[in-house]
A and B are shown apart, each in its own frame.
Chain A
Amino acid sequence: MSIVTVQLGQCGNQIGQELFNVISNDSHSLRGQCPKTESEAYSICSQERFFSEGQNGASARAVLVDMEPKVISHTISTAAKSGRWKYGDQSSFCQKQGSGNNWANGFCVHGPRHEEDIMDLVRREVEKCDRLGGFFNMMSMAGGTGSGMGTYITQCLRDTYPHSFILNQVTWPYGTGEVIVQNYNSVLTLSHLYQSSDAILVHENDTVHKICAQLMNIKQISFKDVNKVIAHQLGSVLQPAYTEGVSEYNRNPLGDLMKSMVCHPEYKLLGLRNIPQMSETSLAYSVFTWPGLLKHLRQMLIANAKMEEGIDWQVRPPAGGLPPAEKGTHNKQLRFNTSLANLLILRGKDVQSADTGGFMDPALYTSWLPPGVASSTWRTPMSFNRYEKSATLVSNSQFLLKPLDGIVGKAWNMFASRAYVHQYTQFGISEEDFLDSFTALEQIIASYTHL
């Protein structure tokens, strides 16, 4: 089954290009320790999922959308330089003038205006697929095109393909500001995406920046470095793997992901943790064991750590036997992160020996899903992107609660003074619309708080 990727805005296009790079390199790399049939099955599955074979080589199953041309032309030319894959000649849509960081401009003006042309491009990609596995929309939350127009396009996809899975990858901006109205744009994006998307996979620029600085030891971090890390994390989720008890590579990754992770429409925010992450030079000298990796990952989940350094080992899951009402406050006191569902994806040597029992502990989860259902594992003996062993945790839990609360708080403060609101009403988003969005997000925050 194939996934059609829609890259929206500058951020979406820049990360998307890195993602296809990672996937292409991964499926073509030689792996000595795996039998050839295994390698081939992996490559074939990955190629079919992300690329279509044309006369001139592999063409990414992607639609590139932006309101101004500079980023798209740069993205397409960089991809072509790799020699291994490229974007389709007719797969991009752009206009002359950007959205000006204005969500209302992206959503109310550019979206409807260009809906037909963009959906046309999507339809052409979909027709190239033997079987459509779903849509992967990549965008940022802070700007105007990715956030505003991206939300509109997601809605269109939902209307046009009501039975397909839609996964949105959303990049959260730096807390100290990239765009002044980023909090407004974020609130409007998340509240609307909740209605049309199946799940929202989140990356925070602050977190990825720290990973680059502390784990990968990059001195002068550029957006390219940040995007590479995000692409690595996404690739580790989307590349082929075996779901439990199945002997063929999963045909329906998005469907399986939704089934495991999103059991309730009120809880759609997914976070990613991937270990190990380190610079190439350090990698050569490091050896990992599955028990070690899994122990770290489990503690990262429980203590809400964003990366494998600075984990608070003091935080422990509560002892069982507490009634649900008390459990909430108890957990809060312990700074314990309650999960709704977790998905482990393990890639690399000796993966069958890895014991994921630690994640089946009922104390980690809310009471209304049995751990057998709430926790799942995918595995593959194929190593991923230079890492001999790599473990990824996709988690639907409280760990986005604090950043989300922060964003809503700041946006609300700004809204109280009505600053910048005239820029939005000019394009069709009224104060009522703002209030609706705030209400929706407070609802989401409340739901996650009471997990």
Chain B
Amino acid sequence: MTQSIVVQVGQCGNQVGCRFWDLALREHASVNKKGIYDEALSSFFRNVDTRRSDGDNNDISGGKIRSLKARAVLIDMEEGVVNEILQGPLRDVFDSKQLITDVSGSGNNWAVGHKVYGSTYREEIVENLRKAAEHCDCLQCFFVIHSMGGGTGSGLGTFVLNVLEDEFPEVYRIVTSVYPSAEDDVITSPYNSVLAMRELTEHADCVLPIENQSLVDIVNKIKHMSHSGKLGAEIKQSSTIISGQGGVKGQEKPFDAMNNIVANMLLNLTSSARFEGSLNMDLNEITMNLVPFPNLHYLVSSLTPLYTLADVNVPSRRLDQMFSDAFSKDHQLIHSDPKHSLYLACALIVRGDVQVSDLRRNIERLKPSLPFVSWNQEGWKTGLCSVPPVGHSHSLLALANNTCVKPTFIELKDRFMKLYKKRAHLHHYLHVDGMEQSCFSEAFSSLSSLIEEYNQLDATKGLLMTDAQRLNIAV
């Protein structure tokens, strides 16, 4: 069994990360009734005997759970968020040595996060990561959680990404990035995002873009369902993907509902790697099957179901509904239109009481309406995990590598140009040591060529591609 380490950077990253650990504990608690520290738990948690004071060597493998410590590194350049975590109910899950903090923050400035704090804290970051990696038997993946629009998450987060590639080149890097919405209140977010995009394109193995607006829409949809009071449509509150009920945390905070969605997505992503099933799908299989060309590694995710009804009877028709929902825009974590763009590849991670025949039936059913690229007409990667998420009997996470991310990137590029043409706010960045105008132009051209790659693939859409000429063998 492999382990993964979560690196949460910046305010957004740490808040999402916090929800992730809470829900992970909740999920394992519901599966692991006997309190034994098993392989599944070890993928994200260490088992530690806190009574012993010999520092780093107090890991226990197997046997009863003593004290669980998250395999995480928490980084923030201002103390507010991290301090809150350390004073909250999750404080025992984190080791004080796993934190890297500063006082003054990055001022929403990518250059400050990347260049200033990067160079200041490089050694400490490497040290921290090394220690976390040493506690792992077989480290498979780093999960980086951050936002793109700010300064720390965006700048320092991508700096950490570079460090991960340098120090741990064989370990996969899956990045969950929260993209700024159009009405973002940070004026310089386009600069920060585009500068960060270049790093993601060049150094990440897989990126899962998330948009706040989509999360808000999902939250509203669920709240609407809960309050509509339709007969027979009562929802089990603890089962919604926005609920943190049953977790350690007490009161719900404002962004918690939205962050729970992202946390649930990460849990579903790793479920087949942690729990058993009839068709396992490990993390390296995701990076293998969903990335046909090195730069095109941006995956659109969608989660179903959003909630379960209190009524326990679940006929098979509802199972098919789950598959249809996964391809509807309401369930996506980013605003885009995959059905009218081109699918390069698609992965379905199914959890719970679903068999291969259900899977096949639904793929056959949905295939005709989904446009796939000509050389990958049957581009489906499937995984079946037998353990369902908390409160559900089955669930589905769909990851699509689709050219529908192009409009998001084009919009980002346009907002960048609007500011850059006027050289607005540029001096804040250029004042930083090591930051030059060329950084901006290079980041811009990186984004442009990424969009161009997607364009080329889109151009093949709908064209009747003749099969490539086969090799001729002399008989």
Q: Which residues of A contact B (CB under 8 A)?
A: 10, 14, 68-71, 74, 95-102, 144, 174-181, 209, 212-213, 218, 220-224, 226, 408-410, 412-417, 419-420, 422-423, 438-439, 442-443, 446, 450
Q: Tell me which residues across on chain B come within 8 A of A222, comparing CB atoms.
A: 278, 355-357
Chain B residues, CB < 8 A from A419: 292-293, 344, 375-376
* Residue in B closest to A174 when the chains form the complex, CB atoms: B360
- Whole-angstrom distance between the alpha carbons of A410 and B374 in the complex? 10
Given contacts A69-B39, A96-B138, A102-B288, 20 further A-B contacts (CB under 8 A): A70-B1, A70-B39, A71-B280, A96-B137, A97-B2, A144-B288, A177-B378, A178-B381, A179-B289, A180-B290, A209-B357, A212-B357, A220-B316, A221-B357, A222-B357, A223-B384, A413-B375, A416-B375, A420-B292, A446-B473
User: How distant is B266 from chain A, measured CB to nearest CB, in Å?
Assistant: 19
30 sample A-B contacts, Cβ–Cβ < 8 Å, listed by A number: A10-B279, A14-B278, A68-B2, A68-B282, A69-B39, A71-B280, A96-B138, A100-B282, A101-B285, A176-B364, A176-B378, A178-B382, A180-B345, A180-B379, A209-B357, A212-B357, A223-B384, A224-B278, A226-B356, A410-B378, A412-B467, A413-B374, A413-B468, A415-B468, A416-B468, A419-B344, A420-B288, A422-B294, A423-B291, A442-B473
Closest to A441 in B: B471
B243 at interface, CB cutoff 8 A = no
Are B380 and A180 in touch, CB under 8 angstroms? Answer: yes
A177 to B347 Cα, complex, angstroms: 10
Within the complex, the shortest CB–CB distance from A212 to chain B, in Å, comes to: 8
Q: With CB as the reference atom, state the residue of chain B lying closest to A413.
A: B375
Q: Which 3 A-B pairs have the closest CB atoms?
A: A100-B284, A96-B138, A221-B357
- Bound-state Cα–Cα, A220 to B284, Å: 29
Which of B137, B356, B381 touches A177 (beta carbons < 8 Å)?
B381
Closest residue of B by beta carbon distance from A419: B292
Contacts of B377 in A (CB 8 A): 410
* B475: chain A residues within 8 A (beta carbon): 446, 450
**Across the interface, which residues of A come within 8 angstroms of B138, CB to CB?**
95-97
Question: Bound state CA distance, A98 and B294, in angstroms?
Answer: 21
User: Chain B contacts of A417 at CB under 8 A?
Assistant: 375
Given A177-B380, A181-B288, A96–B363 Cβ distance below 8 Å?
A: no
Q: Which residue of B137, B276, B472 is within 8 Å of A74 (Cβ)?
A: B276
How many residues of chain B have a CB within 8 Å of chain A?
A: 49
CA distance A213 to B360 in the complex (A): 12
Contacting pair B360 A209 (CB below 8 A): yes
Q: Which of B140, B316, B376, B382 contacts A414 (CB 8 A)?
A: B376
Q: How far is the CB of A110 from chain B (nearest CB, A)?
A: 12
**Chain A residue at minimal CB-CB distance from B377:** A410
* Alpha-carbon gap, A242 to B39, bound state (A): 48
Chain A residues with CB below 8 A from B384, complex form: 223
Tell me, in angstroms, the Cα distance from A71 to B1 when the chains sit together: 11
Contact between A176 and B360, CB atoms less than 8 A apart: yes
